[in-house]
Amino acid sequence: MAKLKVLALAAFVFFGARTECAEAGQIRMRAREHYETMRITNKLGASSYVGFTNTINVWYEEPYRWSLGLAGSPLWAMLYAKSPLESYSSTIRLVHLGIESKFFPLPNIVNLFFKCGVFDAQLTSNGAAGQLRGHSFLGGLGYEWDLGGIGLAPEISLRWGRLADQTEVFGSAPAIGVHFYHAL
């Protein structure tokens, strides 16, 4: 947890130094929906899970420049497998809680953004594996259109991590975010 605090402070200082000409920022809540494909590998083999998931962010945001804050994913969703590993159930819940940032490298030119995050992760299965904890990381790329105060942001993210019992997770998640800049 101490590493997450140091990383958050470093990211805040780095991104904060880049806002000399930015609009006034605010604390915002954002949400996005994903279709997630997650491959789980352990000493017994591998299995793939899919499903619709979500992420909620509460962060400080300089619109179309950068954001940094807390993220939780998924809050209400499960992932499903047709043929799970012996120690896992056919439905799992893989929760990530941590710090996420979003950065627009060319503000005022193009609304392309990069996203990254560091998370504590917990996989919950009704099988023999039970609950496994560890860490995960997120890297993503997207584009946000400004539609008169509403931001429409499709993105693709990769997530990878290591959990207890030599368990590794790797997945991709195309997502869509809708941001109400003047309403929330």
* pLDDT value of position 113: 97
- Distance CA(22)–CA(108), nearest Å, equals 10
Give dist(CA 98, CA 164) in Å, integer: 18
**Confidence at residue 8, expressed as pLDDT on a 0 to 100 scale:** 47
Question: Average pLDDT per run of 10 along the chain, which is 184 residues long?
Answer: 48 44 72 94 92 94 94 86 87 95 94 97 90 97 91 95 96 91 63
pLDDT of residue 118: 98
**What letters, b where the CB count within 10 A reaches 16 and e where it falls short, cover 115-140?**
bbbbbebbbbbeeebeebebbbbbeb
pLDDT at 13: 43
The answer to whether 131 and 164 have CB atoms below 8 angstroms apart is: no
The whole-number pLDDT of residue 171 equals 95
pLDDT attached to residue 3:
53
- Give the domain 2-180 fold: Porin (2.40.160)
* The residue type at 9: L
Domains of the chain, residue spans:
2-180
Structure tokens at 64: 């179309």
> Per-residue DSSP letters for the chain?
-HHHHHHHHHHHHHHHTT-TTPPPPEEEEEEEEEEEEEEEEETTEEEEEEEEEEEEEEEEEETTTEEEEEEEE-SS--EE-SS--TTS-SEEEEEEEEEEEEE-SSTTT--EEEEEEEEEEEEEESSTT-EEEEEEEEEEEEE-EESSSEEEEEEEEEEEEEETTTEEEEEEEEEEEEEETTT-
In angstroms and rounded to an integer, the radius of gyration of the C-alpha atoms of the chain is: 17
User: Shortest CA distance to 35 belongs to which of 69, 77, 2?
Assistant: 77
pLDDT at 50: 95
- pTM of the complete model: 0.81
State how far the Cα of 37 lies from the Cα of 116, in Å rounded to an integer: 18
